[in-house]
Chains A and B, each alone.
Chain A
Amino acid sequence: MALQLRHQRIRSPSAVAANASRIAPILAVIGLCHLLWFAAVSVFGIRSIFLPGPVETYTVLTRLLFHEEFWLDVGASWLRVSVAFLLSLAVSYPLVLAALSSDQLRRSLFVIVEFFRYLPVPIFVPLTILWFGVADTGKVVVIFLGTFCQMIPMFYDSALIARRSYGAAAFSLKWRQWDEIRNIAIPGSAPQVFDSSRICLGWAWTYLVVAELLGAPHGIGYAIIRAQRYLATDRIFAYVIVIGLMGVLTDRVLRYVRGWVFAWA
């Protein structure tokens, strides 16, 4: 259906011009940021150990791209984020569906979730090291704890909004709770669940770096710590840019997928 809708869209002859006018301000802002960065370094003469210039940083970044170590770091981080994120999704979504069908369960679940939701994730890092060592499991657990408790209220609220928006069907057709969940809550909240997941994926990355800072065989967070030990600020900057770029790319891809899959929303 989504594919069919895509084909139905009218292609405007001025689409290219419209795209260009949309991208131009973004490029201008990026350019301005780089200009300010460059000016700060050259005008104030800040030493590169504190603030490396853009040229220096991009040179290091380009060099990194040809190192196997860099790709191992990126791969390890992606693997941890993906596993933890999917695990979080796999646990929280069924729990939300169960909470929708039982008020008792919802009340109990939300007390626990609210308790954990306000705890800062870094406090779990020493505990996970204690329990799981510096292996991947601990990092996955940190990300899981950070995202799982955020996903539950977000998913639940989305399902509740869908239920309220399409309530007439439920009471007209005298649906039982599971019919309502199956026919309204799941499909009706799917776009919002997707959006919430996208936001949580961003948080997962922030928690990952926190988890990796305390040690790992590979990973971007750990790579930053390695660079810090040698005062290689340009490498730190390069890794920061890599994380940012991966974030932008992931977000764009997911937004595109959302538009394609949920064209109706």
Chain B
Amino acid sequence: METIQFHDVCIAYGEFLVVDQFNLVVEPGELICLFGPSGCGKSSILKTVAGAIKASGGEVRIGDIAAENYDSPLSYMPQENELFRWLNIRENVVLWHRESAKRAKVHTAIPPDEALSLVELTDAVDKMPFQLSGGMARRTALARCLATDASIMLLDETFISIEQRLRRKVMVAVRTHLKQKGITALLVSHDYEEAAFMSDRVVFLSAVPAQIHRITPVSLPNQRTIDLFDGDGFRQATLDLVRS
């Protein structure tokens, strides 16, 4: 179980400052949603944790290691699915499972076939990425994340193109998995329902240069099932987020 700490993090692309003085501690096993207007740097924050970009100022730490030096696998789902086009769906998931297992210190992965079944892709495992719809490709990328041995998961607009019926089911499965395995997670979203259901806390960001506008805890039980979507408590929690 890892903590993610942001200390005065600034992210800039050349002269353009995207994120300014971002401070946050994500507790071990906690699930935090970054919520904010498009282009405010939410994905960039995720990328600093993944080690894809380095913060221009401040520091991102995973446990007591600087993010860019962290050498255990991360379960990262970028906005572009980045599925390997030369591998079929199953091979894509198996590759991440196998490769993460080589370097991981934890065993949090769901077996590939189980992960594929969870996102309802069992009948499509032999398909190639170019044969998939947008939603199927997104689910494959999610299955790949679930099949990764990692103590940190970073999800960038994961559920957006998944059909409504399946979306809720997948959200339940992902949250249950994260909580059961004690995985620390950061989620980027534009959807109030998704933010309310998935997160323990929601971090609202201002427009560019992004700063923390407000942090709102989600007033829902830790264990969340599919029935929760139809309850008044969920409606109220979603409404609370809308109002904040």
Distance of A60 Cα from B181 Cα, bound (Å): 79
* Residues 173-226 of A at the B interface (beta carbon under 8 Å): 173-175, 179, 183-184, 187-188, 190
Q: Are A173 and B128 within 8 A (Cβ)?
A: no
Distance of A263 Cα from B95 Cα, bound (Å): 20
With A1-B128, A5-B128 in contact, do A168 and B85 touch (Cβ < 8 Å)?
Answer: no
Distance of A264 Cα from B127 Cα, bound (Å): 10
Q: Are A166 and B76 within 8 A (Cβ)?
A: no
A165 beta carbon closer than 8 Å to chain B: yes
| Selected contact of B130 from candidates A4, A179, A264, CB within 8 Å | A264
Q: Which residues of B contact A174 (CB under 8 A)?
A: 70-74, 103
B199 beta carbon closer than 8 Å to chain A: no
Closest Cβ–Cβ distance, residue B86 to chain A (whole Å): 5
Mask: chain B, 86-130; 1 = CB below 8 Å from A; 0 = not? 101000000110011001000000000000000000000010111
| Selected contact of A173 from candidates B80, B100, B129, CB within 8 Å | B100
Distance of A175 Cα from B98 Cα, bound (Å): 12
Number of interface residues of B (CB under 8 A): 28
- Contact count A vs B, C-beta below 8 Å: 64
Distance of A175 Cα from B74 Cα, bound (Å): 11
| Selected contact of B51 from candidates A1, A4, A171, CB within 8 Å | A171
Distance of A263 Cα from B131 Cα, bound (Å): 11
Q: Are B86 and A172 within 8 A (Cβ)?
A: no
Distance of A4 Cα from B52 Cα, bound (Å): 36
Q: Are A169 and B82 within 8 A (Cβ)?
A: yes
Distance of A188 Cα from B95 Cα, bound (Å): 15
Q: Are A190 and B76 within 8 A (Cβ)?
A: no
A265 beta carbon closer than 8 Å to chain B: yes
B140 beta carbon closer than 8 Å to chain A: no
B189 beta carbon closer than 8 Å to chain A: no
With A173-B103, A174-B103, A175-B99 in contact, do A167 and B72 touch (Cβ < 8 Å)?
Answer: no
Q: Which residues of B contact A171 (CB under 8 A)?
A: 50-52, 74, 76
B84 beta carbon closer than 8 Å to chain A: yes
B75 beta carbon closer than 8 Å to chain A: yes
Mask: chain B, 131-166; 1 = CB below 8 Å from A; 0 = not? 000000000000000001010000000000000000
* Residues 240-265 of A at the B interface (beta carbon under 8 Å): 262-265
Q: Are B85 and A183 within 8 A (Cβ)?
A: no
* Residues 49-88 of B at the A interface (beta carbon under 8 Å): 50-52, 70-76, 78, 80, 82, 84-86, 88
Closest Cβ–Cβ distance, residue A208 to chain B (whole Å): 33
Q: Are A172 and B74 within 8 A (Cβ)?
A: yes
With A5-B128, A174-B103, A264-B128 in contact, do A169 and B86 touch (Cβ < 8 Å)?
Answer: no
Distance of A174 Cα from B80 Cα, bound (Å): 19
| Selected contact of B85 from candidates A4, A173, A264, CB within 8 Å | A264
Q: Are A167 and B52 within 8 A (Cβ)?
A: yes
Q: Which residues of A contact B73 (CB under 8 A)?
A: 172-174
Distance of A263 Cα from B86 Cα, bound (Å): 9
Q: Which residues of A contact B103 (CB under 8 A)?
A: 173-174
Closest Cβ–Cβ distance, residue A191 to chain B (whole Å): 9
Distance of A96 Cα from B129 Cα, bound (Å): 27
Q: Are A188 and B82 within 8 A (Cβ)?
A: no
With A168-B82, A172-B50, A187-B84 in contact, do A264 and B129 touch (Cβ < 8 Å)?
Answer: yes
| Selected contact of A264 from candidates B78, B86, B150, CB within 8 Å | B86
Nearest residue, chain A, Cβ from B68 = A171
Closest Cβ–Cβ distance, residue A178 to chain B (whole Å): 13
With A1-B128, A172-B50, A264-B130 in contact, do A166 and B74 touch (Cβ < 8 Å)?
Answer: no
Q: Are B84 and A179 within 8 A (Cβ)?
A: no
Distance of A68 Cα from B50 Cα, bound (Å): 66
Mask: chain A, 146-184; 1 = CB below 8 Å from B; 0 = not? 000000000000000000011111011111000100011
Q: Which residues of A contact B80 (CB under 8 A)?
A: 168
Q: Are A165 and B71 within 8 A (Cβ)?
A: no
Q: Which residues of B contact A183 (CB under 8 A)?
A: 84, 95, 99
Q: Which residues of A contact B129 (CB under 8 A)?
A: 264
Residue pairs across A and B with Cβ atoms less than 8 A apart, 7 shown, are A169-B84, A171-B51, A174-B70, A174-B72, A174-B103, A175-B99, A188-B85
For the complex of A and B, the 4 pairs showing the least CB-CB separation, nearest first, are A172-B76, A168-B78, A168-B82, A173-B99
